[in-house]
Chain A
Amino acid sequence: MLEFRKDIFADERDDNLIEIGQPTARQDILGHVTGTSPFYDDRRFADLLHLKVLRSPHPHARIRSIDDSAAARAPGVKRIIRAADVPVNLNTMLSLMAGAGAGYGAAGQWGKDDEPSLASDVVRYKGEPILGIVATSERAALEALAMVRVSYDPLPAVFDVEEALKPGAVSVNPAYPKNAFEYYGKYDHQKLRFGDIDAGFAQADLVLEGRYQMSPIEHAPTETNGSIAVPDTNGRFIVYTSTQALFFSLDTAAKINAMQANQLHFIGGTVGGGFGGKVDTLTEPLAILAARLTGAPVRYRLDRHEEMQFGSPRGAERIYIKDGIMKDGRVVARQVRAYFDSGAYTRLSSYAVVKCTAHIPGPYTIPNVHADVYCVFTNRTPATAMRGFGVTALDFALECQMDKDAIAIGMDPLEFRILNAYRDGDMKAHRREAKNCALVECAQVAAEKANWPLRDQFRRMSSREGGSPERGGIADRTRTPAVSRAPAHTSAGRTRAPSVPTPVAPQRMAYERPAPATPVRPAPAQQQPASRHVPPPAAPTSAPAGSTHGAPRFSSVFGTRRR
């Protein structure tokens, strides 16, 4: 049962909820239980043709020759689709979001067109499409595919993100020869800089490092990716599709087919399981092309093996975290180095890396943060979105690290999080003020539900108390690249004052750092490191009377706000 803790932040909102908390039937559940919800394939066409695709068996190879003459003559075959037939045979998904006019040069903010719909000279991952066959039945198309003779020169391949970034590594993607995506045409990673990471580690009582790895994860929806493109009238096509991203897929298909968007009518709606695996517009462009070339409705449906091999997975991620922790439980430094395995082409991974960087260091006030996040190309199936991509894997790593940190200093892991959680008014590593924080309260309620003992002082803490821009401290100590503007304010003091009323006695020191060989040069105002001075609580941000939804909306981290 759903329980509403309306006592928490009660003064901040109107709790006259109408929909939230009431069970509401899905608008399509009647269709689901009667088997009448229309999935893309729930249409009949008397003259339907079937498109099947020949795929690379190699992770990396040069195509020396393709002989499809026997296939072209096979029974039931209506048309062979080759790379040369594709009107615009190079694309990157996010080219739709910001074109060259965004001020970052011809490459655009979101990168260069790098992926062919049909490979012609080189194949860069196992399963990459090379050639399509349109036939009167799936069986006829599959039998014809078996007659195509392709000769390959296998090339060395790279599968590991860090290997791929080493000098001299196999180059995967010709648009990015060093295997790292380039932002704004020149930066090979995303950076986050806040405070002075070296000083932070020098100051810390303990330093703890962790390495975290997630594998690619396949969404495996019960309904595989697919679409049916149907010639309509006057040069228009109707496309029934499994996509989660209707307009996105329409525009992508229009670009690849060099068509106007108003020549395409996309009908989606019922997605038989997406989870992010149906945003890459895997089938629509070639289905439309096949319909154009044959004048007939064409279905391009992935079978289960193709869904596993060719259907894009959540990208694998490797994350290194290095934390500097004080004995009293404060995390004073966090350094993150993360690598996204984009596979052979960019797709959405460049965006995932931005999201990841925006999420560092997690919902905790840490005064010194340093992160480098890379989008790396390897000879693997191109990765895509899945359920919070860019963020979920990072959270896995961060929270494992938080547990290890807590254990290392002998502190309860929940209390450790409450101690370090953002408070309203804290300054985050991204130079935004923390607002509407609630991790403290969530942790307290979770502890209560789990009968997890919390000490009184932690049960009394609040997200609305003890936060301030100075609690973390910024600006003067941030070592930034020359182009960044001067900070608008200086912090009042270097005092690192947590909102903890009394120091926490550690029970165990498992990873005690040895005393430094040379004395650390303190920054100018760092005279009272042990002070427990509690700053006055930040003036509560006025909740406008009568406001019902006071939280500011999530604002873009894409850099579209001009500074």
Chain B
Amino acid sequence: MKTPIQFILNGEETAAFVESGSNLLDTLRESVGDLSVKGGCWQGTCGTCTVLIDGAPRLSCVTLAETCAGKSIETTAGLRSGADLHPLQAAFMERFAAQCGYCTPGMLMAAKALLDRNPNPTRADVVDAICGNICRCTGYEPIIDAVLDAARGEARRRA
């Protein structure tokens, strides 16, 4: 049985017709077509599917889509504004904070959740912010460095 839901996605009014019990990850990818959100475990354990819901980091694979009605959702697809990358995106590029790229969208959203609430994080704050996101490639250090760079406003870059 399908239910209509409406929410705001990256600042745009969006609607989807979802199978009852659908998770937000499948809804965003398959109903709405936002492929920037990735799925890694479908169990809520790897963090790959992290999005922001009303500013809070959430695991979209274990979020019931219907509970998102009326909420504001942010994904990686909405990070850049036009040609300008978000400072986190620029910092990840400069610090080699992505190799295979699969964990990157989730990492960016977890990091954004941190910086939106705490513009001046310590290294320990950054580690805690990404502790729910698994990366199999980088060893995490470049990612932590990139988030700290972005916080310090050191990344200025046009795509």
Contact = CB atoms under 8 A, between A and B. Distances in A.
A and B in direct contact, judged by CB atoms within 8 A: yes
A81 interface: no
Interface in A26-81: 26, 28-37, 39, 42, 44
A270 B101 contact: yes
B98 interface: yes
A275 interface: yes
Nearest to B36: A35
Contacts of B134: 222
A304 B43 contact: yes
Q: Which has the most chain A C-beta neighbours within 10 Å: B33, B38, B46?
A: B38
Contacts of B80: 34
B40 A33 contact: no
Interface in B44-84: 45-46, 48, 75-77, 79-80
A33 B89 contact: yes
A33 B104 contact: yes
Contact of B93 (A25, A44, A219): A25
Contacts of A275: 136
B42 A220 contact: no
Interface in B3-36: 19, 30, 33, 35-36
A271 interface: yes
Nearest to A277: B136
Nearest to B35: A42
Interface size class of A (residues with CB under 8 A): 20 to 34
Interface string A248-278: 0000000000000000000000111111000
A303 interface: yes
B136 A33 contact: no
A30 B108 CA distance: 13
Contact of A31 (B42, B77, B101): B101
B159 A30 contact: yes
Interface in A97-111: none
B132 to A, nearest CB: 13
A28 B99 CA distance: 9
A219 B134 CA distance: 13
Contacts of B37: 35
B40 A223 contact: yes
A154 interface: no
Q: Which has the most chain B C-beta neighbours within 10 Å: A31, A33, A219?
A: A33
Q: Which has the most chain B C-beta neighbours within 10 Å: A30, A219, A271, A275?
A: A30
B115 interface: no
A28 B98 CA distance: 9
Interface string A360-389: 000000000000000000000000000000
Nearest to A39: B102
A44 B38 contact: no
Interface in B102-159: 102-105, 108, 134-137, 159
A303 B33 CA distance: 21
Contacts of B103: 222
B40 A34 contact: no
A34 B76 contact: yes
B104 A26 contact: no
Contact of A272 (B35, B76, B101): B101
25 contacts: A23-B96, A25-B96, A26-B99, A29-B92, A30-B159, A32-B100, A33-B85, A33-B88, A33-B92, A34-B36, A34-B77, A34-B89, A35-B38, A35-B75, A35-B76, A36-B36, A37-B101, A221-B102, A221-B136, A223-B102, A270-B100, A272-B101, A273-B100, A273-B102, A303-B42
Given A29-B96, A31-B101, 11 more contacts: A26-B99, A29-B93, A33-B85, A34-B36, A35-B75, A222-B38, A222-B102, A222-B103, A223-B102, A274-B100, A304-B45
